[in-house]
Structure 1
Amino acid sequence: MIAFRPITIDDRDWMSEKLREDDRQGCEYSFANNFIWSVIYKVEVAEVCGCCVIKFDAEGEDCYAFPIGAGDKKAAIMQLLTHAKEDNSKLYIESIEEADREFLEKYFSGIFQIEENRDSFDYIYTVDKLTSLAGKKLHGKRNHIARFKDNEDWSYEPMTAENKQECYDMNLKWCDRRACKWNEDMSDEQCALNQAMKYFDALHLEGGILRKAGEIVAFTIGERLNSDTYVVHFEKAFPEIQGAYPMINQQFVMHNCQEYSYVNREDDAGDEGLRKAKLSYYPDILLKNYTAREI
């Protein structure tokens, strides 16, 4: 059987190299994303036929991300099929992009049932759109930002070792104010955010902070995803402060993403509120995601 082992921060270099070889645009193919959520999803990794294979828990079921890197993907999937059989289970693969779906249909025809996973579609926007917010469709976003700027006592700054604790404290306040909506998903996100804060520098993460009257009212954390795409992992703002969300979105892109063409703001995980918010920016790419279950 394949010798999977829990992901650690020491896996960053070799996994990042495999990710660069594929240059994928999906948010699942970020080392940081897999690492910070590793406690929640029991993430394990292995090198199989020159590919990186990520294993994780999907509601109690073993699941695997599509193999990444310049290795032999066909051979890697064949080994995964054998691995699942030896484990008395059926192979289940997630994080499958369009080209991966075509690959499976070409080389493994009749072996998998492949389905769209709408909850995992990534919302990707051009940097130009999120910077300028030009056009009639985004008029409302510009208005909200204008209301935020009505009070000139605001500032934007990068997240640093000196102000990270303030961001952590702000997030606790954000959670307290939403106590009536607290659920397991928010608890899981808190765990992932703690990991991101703890390993911020080792993961090469970047952050931006928005203040009003000296108090942090919003922050964002992201990183380089591939050669032309930046990914935003976290974005928090006090919702009662008009314009805080669109303002931190725009400011972070202006300060951190100008050397890229696109910004991936991840999926909506099936949350209707998130879906509405992400669609309100009219994504330039809605990156499809599929699952494949061995028949």
Structure 2
Amino acid sequence: MDFKPVRAEDKETINKYLQHVSSRSCDMSFAAIYLWKGFYHVEYVECEGMIVFRSNEEKTSFSFPLGAGDPKKAIDKLMEDCREKGIPLVFHGISREMEQYLEENYPGKFEVEFDRDIADYVYETQALIELKGRKYHGKKNHINKFNKTYDWSYEAITSENTQECLDMLKVWKSQNCAPEDLEKHAEICVSEASLKEREFLGLKGGLIRVDGKVVAFAVGEKIHPDTFCVHIEKAFADVQGAYSVINQQFLVHEAQDCKYVNREDDVGDPGLRKAKLSYHPAFLEEKGFAVYKES
């Protein structure tokens, strides 16, 4: 099978298949695939009316076939191709529905394991906007204190203020990135690209100013008819409440028409997990791996 790298000019081709995917996963958009293609070494192939992505990060793995075609035909071809190349067939980003499909069509042939570290946190949008009730009392206090302490404003990210966000990100990087933290550096590269290529990727952006200076920004997109996804969120930690305010205000201005907001995974980081749980997710969008067991 002739896999090829994901390029900007492939946007229309890839979206032709992704439009048939009904998923709240943060990974199921051209923007997410394009932004992370360098880190995960993503390639794709069109096969049996479907599209399959291949990731060559550490070990080779594949996306479940996506599109309007017959997944089984594409899976059978993948099995044959992997057999010829002497590599195991491993699917990444498997949902519960995909697990069920594999079991129905290949009973007992796939070993599926879900990874808590890569599960997306999905929240009710209005809950994060309104922050009602005792469970959000601390969050509401952070915002109230921010309102009293700072002269601040919100604005959409445009071509006129993008450079200010990039400048803010450069300072954020100097404060938060250790030289040996390759994943954090990859995240910064993705953040930069999301700002520079925001319009091409169809992303929305918002920022917070304090005394005229950008102290926080967020970038995201609608990934499902009822779900908005926040791909990037950055704020200066020394501006108390900035994270809470950009979290709320970005949704107020960009996601009011969506029932849910996906705030992505916690990558197994204990601090990040605690922070994401403190916002009380409606549910986790589970993702896992499926390994074909050769008989």
State how far apart, in whole Å, the 1-side matches of 2:28 and 2:203 are.
Answer: 15
Q: Could you give the per-residue CA deviations for residues 143-181 of structure 1, whole angstroms, max 9, x where no partner exists?
A: 001111113510000001111111111011111112458
TM-score between the two structures when normalised by the length of structure 1: 0.96
Matched residue, 1:142: 140
> Which stretch shifts more, 228-237 or 188-197?
188-197
d(CA) in 2 for partners of 1:128 and 1:17?
Answer: 31
CA contact (8 A) 1:48 1:76 kept: yes
Match of 2:110 in 1: 112
TM-score of the pair, normalised by structure 2: 0.96
Contact 1:20 1:226 in 2 (8 A): no
* Structure 1 consecutive aligned stretches of length 4 or more whose deviation exceeds 4 Å: 179-182
State yes or no: 1:10 paired with 2:9.
yes
Q: Distance in 2 between matches of 1:82 and 1:227?
A: 36
Matches within 5 A, 1:200-279: 200-279=198-277
CA displacement, residues 90-143 of structure 1 (integer Å, 9 cap, x when unaligned) = 101111111001111111122221111111111001111111111111111100
**RMSD value over aligned CA atoms?**
1.3
Query: Given that residues 114 and 286 in structure 2 are in contact (C-alpha distance below 8 angstroms), is that contact kept between their aligned partners in structure 1?
Result: yes
Contact 1:122 1:288 in 2 (8 A): yes
**1:16 offset after TM fit, Å?**
1.9
Q: Distance in 1 between matches of 2:130 and 2:12?
A: 35
Match of 2:251, SS state, is helix
- Percent of aligned pairs with the same residue? 40
CA contact 1:125–1:263 (8 Å) conserved in 2: yes
Tell which deviates more after alignment, 137-146 or 190-199: 190-199
**Given the superposition, is the C-alpha separation of residues 244 and 181 from structure 1 closer, same or farther in structure 2, using an over 3 Å criterion?**
farther
| Residues 175-215 of structure 1: CA deviation (Å, up to 9, x unaligned) | 11124586111111122122222321110011000011111
Q: Which runs of 5+ in 1 are unaligned?
A: none
1-structure distance, mates of 2:180, 2:211? 28
- Asked if structure 2 preserves the Cα contact closer than 8 Å seen for 1:175 and 1:182, the reply is no
Please give the secondary structure, in 1, of the residue aligned with 2:80.
helix
Partner residue in 2 for 1:31 = 30
Who is 1:156 aligned against?
154
Give structure 2 stretches of 5+ with no counterpart. none
What amino acid sits opposite 1:73 in the alignment?
P
- Residue pair 1:36, 1:196 contacting (<8 A) in 2 also: yes
Where 1:219 maps in the other structure, the secondary structure is strand
Cα pair distance change 1:245/1:111, threshold 3 Å: same
Aligned amino acid, residue 209 of structure 2: R
Counterpart check, 1:20 vs 2:14: no
Task: Report the CA distance between 1:84 and its aligned residue.
Answer: 1.0
Amino acid at match of 1:71: G
Please report how far the alpha carbon of residue 269 of structure 1 lies from its aligned counterpart in structure 2 after TM superposition.
1.3
Q: Does 1:44 align with 2:43?
A: yes
> Residue 240 of structure 1 aligns to a residue in which SS?
coil
1:53 is matched with which residue? 52
Tell me, in whole angstroms, the C-alpha distance in 2 between the residues paired with 1:195 and 1:85. 37
3-state SS of paired residue (2:171): helix
Aligned residues: 293
Question: What amino acid does structure 2 have at the position aligned with 1:293?
Answer: V
